[in-house]
């Protein structure tokens, strides 16, 4: 299936006009709000996946089990089949969520794995972690090695963000997209994220803005993985959200068959 990250700019859109087959929402934006729009989506027969931003699996503060109980309630209410969060530390400032990198070391892999296990125990289900973009980091492991260690130790799944791999490769020249993906067991992938990014001259870096069309190489490898391993693809477009026709065009590009 091909899905779409549902954002507030889309609240007035006709659901019948959106060609997505499922939607993903940020649960933090709905826990204490009127969830009528989400139930309207469910009434169309399309599932809703939950993708969090504040669990802070890479942080050092205790895992917020009260928050996880709220997530569990929301999952049950929406019959959501997926809950995920970022493989990062996060800060919460009036719903402006920042993601901070985790050092790529074995010590950190063990520590974060234990936190993921704690979160899964509180929820009573397996979660997925998303590989994150990072603009500076330290450590002696490659990112795929670090991710695989965490997947093995915690038993969680990976929400594979292909765009994040591309941004990190452009900024740090460490590992290319195809080589990165080849080191991940596709059976451990829950589903796939794609998005666009921009170059910011102020920082001399590519920034994960989710404000541009998906690059062709990102589309290609996402389609290949989806077709080969029966995985869903989710389009994220969070900033400078375009009109519905542009979004539908992006969704249609993810459905085209391809060969590699």
Whether 225 contacts 192, CB under 8 Å: yes
Tokens of 91: 């800060």
Average pLDDT of 156-183? 94
- Sign, CA dihedral 144-146-150-153, equals positive
Q: Is the pLDDT of residue 257 over 70?
A: no
| pLDDT tens-place string over residues 30-54 | 998 999 999 999 999 999 999 999 9
Tokens of 132: 């994150």
| pLDDT tens-place string over residues 94-106 | 344 568 899 999 9
Tokens of 250: 């992006």
């Amino acid at each position: 299936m091909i899905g779409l990250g549902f954002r507030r700019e889309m609240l007035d859109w006709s659901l019948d006009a959106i060609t997505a087959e499922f939607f993903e929402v940020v649960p933090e934006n709905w826990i204490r709000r009127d969830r009528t729009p989400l139930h309207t989506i469910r009434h169309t027969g399309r599932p809703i996946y939950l993708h969090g931003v504040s669990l802070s699996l890479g942080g050092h503060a205790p895992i917020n089990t009260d928050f996880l109980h709220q997530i569990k309630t929301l999952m049950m209410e929406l019959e959501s089949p997926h809950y995920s969060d970022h493989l990062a530390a996060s800060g919460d400032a009036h719903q402006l969520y920042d993601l901070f990198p985790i050092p790529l070391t074995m010590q950190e892999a063990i520590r974060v794995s234990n936190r993921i296990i704690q979160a899964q125990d509180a929820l009573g289900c397996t979660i997925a972690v998303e590989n994150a973009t990072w603009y500076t980091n330290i450590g002696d492991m490659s990112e795929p090695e670090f991710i695989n260690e965490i997947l093995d130790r915690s038993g969680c799944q990976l929400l594979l963000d292909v765009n994040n791999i591309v941004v990190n490769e452009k900024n740090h020249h460490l590992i290319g997209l195809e080589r990165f993906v080849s080191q991940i067991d596709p059976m451990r992938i829950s589903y796939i994220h794609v998005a666009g990014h921009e170059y910011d001259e102020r920082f001399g870096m590519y920034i994960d803005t989710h404000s541009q069309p998906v690059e062709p190489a990102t589309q290609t490898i996402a389609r290949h993985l989806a077709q080969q391993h029966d995985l869903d693809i989710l389009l994220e477009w969070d900033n400078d959200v375009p009109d519905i026709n542009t979004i539908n065009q992006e969704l249609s590009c993810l459905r085209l068959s391809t060969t590699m």
